[in-house]
Structure 1
Amino acid sequence: MTTPAIAQTSQQPVLVVDYGAQYAQLIARRVREANVYSEVVPHTLSTEQLLAKNPVAIILSGGPSSVYADGAPSVGADLFETGVPVLGICYGFQAMAAALGGTVAQTGLREYGATDITTVGDGRSILAGTPNHQNAWMSHGDSVQQAPEGFEVLASTASAPVAAFANEAKSLFGVQWHPEVKHSDFGQQVLENFLFDGAKLQPNWTTGNIVEEQVQRIRDQIGGARVICGLSGGVDSAVAAALVHRAVGDQLRCVFVDHGLLREGEAEQVERDFVAATGVKLYVAKETDRFLDALAGVSDPETKRKIIGREFIRAFEEAERALISEAGSDGEAIKFLVQGTLYPDVVESGGGEGAANIKSHHNVGGLPEDLQFELVEPLRALFKDEVRAVGAQLGLPGEIVGRQPFPGPGLGIRIVGEVTRERLALLRKADAIARAELTSAGLDNEVWQMPVVLLADVRSVGVQGDGRTYGHPIVLRPVSSEDAMTADWSRLPYDLLARISNRITNEVDGVNRVVLDVTSKPPGTIEWE
């Protein structure tokens, strides 16, 4: 199996060195908001390995360690002699200070949450354009007591005498707070000051550039070969297919696997809307029996994901044989498979360097080792909102690019327990009610995603029709997010929640309880499995 590297772009990256920060991916996301390409890399890379990636700048992330603790990650002082502009954030700021001869100490004065920052001097450098007093988000116990030689102190707080510093001559900067989070009022300004003034970069990571570059890369990879795309009807696979179609035209054939795990009406929508919007040739594989037979008796979520990933590939291989048969005896084998893999999929599946395996996404961690295709993954370096922007640039209609995310494994990972036809039918009906009410309330664009989850292995006592029932609970999981790397639960109006609950318990046999998931990400993921 051939798997491309994460970065599928000629753009020189801003590298975000991850020291175990909760917000490392968010830093990369904020850099891209400034139209500058970025990637997350582990702190275990040496200076030589970092430079081999040809970075235009480096950002050292926060992290949970103390710089003086045994085994704490460190940064080599040689990094700061390379001429590459560097910004240290929180732990990265302290690690930079320690490596360059500054003083970092445990004072017993901790700062967590909203903190008042006071600029020192004229507030120039990376604090230019921000007020003398500003609210920023802190999360630290240690603090920099003395800046390294050659550094100017830019800001302080009540507990941190050195809350920001700069060495303009060497393009080295640092802040104790987290500019990447929205709670820091001028955080984006600070990041952009570093990118555009400190590192002298240009904002050239644009949707137009992404499309142009990826089209050329797809042509270079595929050449004159035939290619198929696994089309799910979701945003990611639709945009990936549209990009490949722009690049190679009728060499592409889209395969829609109706695996029986879709929501109500989705199979018909895919067959109708996507073909009408793109003109792509579509082959439909009816594979419900295959998937449900393979999932019979399986409750473990990782096992379900891997089974679904494996059966997807087997269905594609059978589709290939059918398409070759259609072409006659001279039919050419299909060499390439297009997938709508995104950067968050790669990171969460442990595919990013140094990343933890949170869960296997079916198109990353769930692929079989004996895959017969070479993968084409033109979205592998992109976040979700970047994918939507690319889709709009390609002319896809709003009904497709604005669609709420839906996982490739479908309802198979929204049933906590074994997947059966009966449970799928129950969940489809509950999901359709929830989506209809959300649309009726005009909140589709306010909610990033609202998974509806069936707790199939849980039952609770209820009273329906003056009789005792023993039914399943349905979980509503409405979340707000920008890129799925972090999320918060959406505060839906109580009257909307009441309507959804009343309709589900009245109209869906076997359900007698509806509950609301009010967990953010982290610590929870958006999907339950």
Structure 2
Amino acid sequence: MHSSERRQAIIVLDFGSQYSRLITRRVRECHVYSELVPASTTLAQLQENEHLDIKGFILSGGPSSVYDEHAPSCDPAILASGLPVLGICYGMQLLALQMGGHVALSHGLREYGPATIEVVEDAAADAQNFRIFEGISASPEQTKDLDPEHGSQTLRMPVWMSHGDSVDRLPEGFRILARTDSNPVAAIAHPRGYIGLQFHPEVTHTPQGTAILRNFLFRICHCEESWTSGKVIEEAVELVRERVGNERVICGLSGGVDSAVAALLIHKAIGDQLTCVFVDTGLLRAGEREQVVETFGNHMHIPLVVVDARKRFLDRLANIVDPEQKRKIIGEEFIRIFEGEAERLAEKNGPIAFLAQGTLYPDVIESTSHDTAQTAKRIKTHHNVGGLPDEMVLQLVEPLRMLFKDEVREIGQALGLPDEWVWRHPFPGPGLAIRIIGAIDEERLETLRTADAIVIDEIRKAGIYRQLGQAFAVLTPIQSVGVMGDGRTYANVVAVRAVTTGDFMTADWARLSPDLLGKIANRLVNEVAAINRVVYDITSKPPATIEWE
């Protein structure tokens, strides 16, 4: 981004909700840039970023009560900034409290799960001042009921609630906008742009949630739809040029869409200053190496080096069972290989200063206490984030670091990446190492590689590959007794995992048909000698993660 340009932004303050990242994503889906920051972030700190034109704030939900001893609060300067503020759940309670209202501790008004709100009549009539529900239409069967006393229609809509405490006294100038059967204060607002919603508009269980968020963005904050794939590409290219200058870069290709799009962006920015490096770790899916060489070396004509490091990785991973240790070993080996290749390439064409990676926003979120959220807990280490060694010779370039998966796919399409890459299911950087539960060896790798190819083949044949966010096989450490022919077997149990998801921050298990599951299981036990039992994982995220390790 040119230093003179400023990007319109909505700042989401994270108070610890499991949906904080989802709020950020929903705003971006409306083509408005959004950034997640810790709840403790001050207005002064935000104003230090001269590239951001802040148009409003969203206060997320969270697990705390506003009266807890260490409950997070909002910088008063943000509330006094004159910019619109939307408080969601805990954020609404905090907004009410800090603006002079009162919050009652849980006393029978708790609401968890589906609820129906009713927009109060005087707020609906004064839509110009209270625009959060303006223009909202809801499904006829559940939303607009005839009021027999007044002969008018009352807007009612399904929402998703998750709260114990409730606002019981409004700050001066605020008005109740909506209620539920059990809670008289389900939404509040002030004409100057302060909005409080006790429900969660960001989740799919609130069907009109996107329309409500769009009202906040466009009717209240007066944002423009400027966060588009074209704009993202333009900004990313400019930032890469500013960071890299005339230096040379190597980019680690993994075979997935993330590293591929990172490579295309960087190549667009600096051309032949980039060399891509593909490391064959021996932990890859079937046909991975061949696909990378064909696409980048022969189709995209981007300089590509292939490193055969299968023995090196397997030697380092021998007898390693702990998944975190696997990730750290793999992360360190990748970096050491890239450093070695950088030295080798430097002998021919001059020194290389930068290593590019396809790190995404969810990678960063899950690997740390979140760069921008002190209340989040580390879930697991990604080999290209928390798994990096402490000392590195190369500097990192991560043009996708603040993007979600679907944004990356849009950019990939805009850059001309083939559809088979753009829509390929994600594959973890550590590869099959974290889909083999327990120790890794060549035999177990080949068993899982074959099993995984069968799962994907059957899903493609069923015509549902694009409908799934991710699907794969997991080789468990369990062996079970089976019967094949007239003989007893004692072989491996394989788990099949398939999920649907929009942003990979949450996911639901895919309802594959019994016929499809039967075909998959039949092929696995008949075509892979080391397998005699197949199970299907029906756990959502949360509580589970998508990968098993």
> Which of 342, 353, 356 is the equivalent residue of 1:335?
353
User: How many residue pairs end up in the alignment?
Assistant: 515
Q: Which residue of 2 aligns with 1:108?
A: 108
1:472 offset after TM fit, Å?
A: 1.4
- In the TM superposition, what are the counterparts of 1:246-285 in structure 2 within 5 Å? 246-285=268-307
What's the counterpart of residue 5 of structure 1?
A: none
| 1:509-528 equivalent positions in 2, closer than 5 A | 509-528=529-548
Partners in 1 of 2:455 and 2:424 — Cα distance? 15
Quote the residue 2:198 is aligned against. 176
> Is the alpha carbon distance of 1:40 and 1:490 closer, same or farther for their aligned partners in structure 2, counting shifts above 3 Å?
same
| Residue identity opposite 1:35 in structure 2 | H
**CA separation in 2, counterparts of 1:494 and 1:107?**
46
What secondary structure does 1:62 align onto?
A: coil
CA distance in structure 2 between the aligned counterparts of 1:73 and 1:215, rounded to whole angstroms: 37
- In the alignment, which residue of structure 2 is the partner of 1:383? 404
1:462-477 correspondence runs (5 A): 462-477=482-497
State the alpha-carbon separation in 2 of the partners of residues 483 and 254 from structure 1.
27
> Given that residues 144 and 161 in structure 1 are in contact (C-alpha distance below 8 angstroms), is that contact kept between their aligned partners in structure 2?
no
1:126 alignment partner AA: I
Aligned mate of 2:237, from 192, 212, 215: 215
Which SS does the other structure have where 1:363 is aligned? coil
- 1:433-466 alpha-carbon deviations (Å, 9 max, x no partner): 11111111111111111121101x2222222222
Could you say if the C-alpha distance between residues 221 and 49 of structure 1 is closer, same or farther in structure 2, counting changes exceeding 3 Å?
A: closer
| Paired residue secondary structure (1:298) | coil
Q: Given the superposition, is the C-alpha separation of residues 482 and 10 from structure 1 closer, same or farther in structure 2, using an over 3 Å criterion?
A: farther
Unaligned runs of 5+ in 1: 1-8
Q: Which residue of 1 aligns with 2:84?
A: 85
**Following the alignment from structure 1 to structure 2, what is the Cα–Cα distance between the partners of residues 471 and 287?**
30
Q: CA deviation at 1:471?
A: 1.5
d(CA) in 1 for partners of 2:415, 2:267: 10
**Is the CA contact 1:309–1:362 (under 8 Å) kept in the aligned structure 2?**
yes
Question: For residue 129 of structure 1, what is the amino acid of its counterpart?
Answer: G
Amino acid at match of 2:308: K
Instruction: Please name the residue that 2:141 is paired with.
Output: none
Letter in 1 for 2:436: I
TM-score normalised over the length of structure 1: 0.95
Distance 1:173-1:400 versus aligned 2 partners, 3 A rule: same
Q: Hey, what does 2:390 align to over in structure 1?
A: 369
Alpha-carbon deviations, 1:285-319, whole Å to 9, x = none? 00001100010110100000010000111111221
Does the CA contact (< 8 Å) of 2:296 and 2:304 recur in 1? no
1:205 and 2:223 aligned:
no
Find out whether 1:130 has 2:175 as its counterpart. no
Aligned-pair identity (%): 54
Q: TM-score, normalised by structure 2?
A: 0.91
Partners of 1:431 and 1:195 lie apart in 2 by 43
Matched, 1:42 2:38: yes
Amino acid paired to 1:514:
V
Contact persistence 1:230–1:256 (CA under 8 A): yes
8 Å Cα contact 1:452-1:476 kept in structure 2: yes
Q: Whole-Å Cα distance in 1 between the matches of residues 16 and 74 of structure 2?
A: 14
Q: Does 1:352 find its partner at 2:358?
A: no
CA RMSD of aligned residues (A): 1.5
Query: What's the CA shift for 1:76?
Result: 4.3
Instruction: Report what 1:6 is aligned to.
Output: none
CA shift for structure 1 position 69: 3.0
> What CA distance in whole angstroms lies between the structure 2 residues aligned with 1:220 and 1:52?
19
Check conservation: 2:481, 2:491, Cα contact below 8 A: yes
The residue type equivalent to 2:72 in the other structure is P
Provide the residue aligned with 2:528 in structure 1: 508
The Cα of 1:478 is off from its aligned counterpart by 0.1
1:481 maps to what in 2? 501
Secondary structure class of the residue paired with 2:7: coil
Query: Contact conserved, 1:342 with 1:379, CA < 8 A, in 2?
Result: yes
Aligned to 2:175: 152
Alignment-derived partner of residue 75 in structure 1: 74
Offset at residue 129 of structure 1 (A): 1.4
The amino acid that maps onto 2:61 is G
1:524 counterpart letter in structure 2: A
The change in CA–CA distance for 1:223 and 1:346 in structure 2 (over 3 A counts) is same
| Within-5 A mapping of 1:292-441 | 292-325=314-347, 327=348, 331-350=349-368, 351-353=370-372, 354=374, 355-441=376-462
Match of 1:22 among 8, 13, 18: 18
Distance 1:44 1:466 in 2: 67
Match of 2:164 in 1: 141
CA distance in 2, matches of 1:101, 1:359: 40
Counterpart Cα distance in 1 of 2:361 and 2:416: 23
Aligned to 2:150: none
Matched AA of 2:84: P
Task: Tell me how far 1:10 sits from its aligned partner.
Answer: 5.5
Distance 1:277 1:145, change over 3 A: farther
**Offset, 1:134:** 0.6
Q: What's the offset of the Cα at 1:68?
A: 2.2
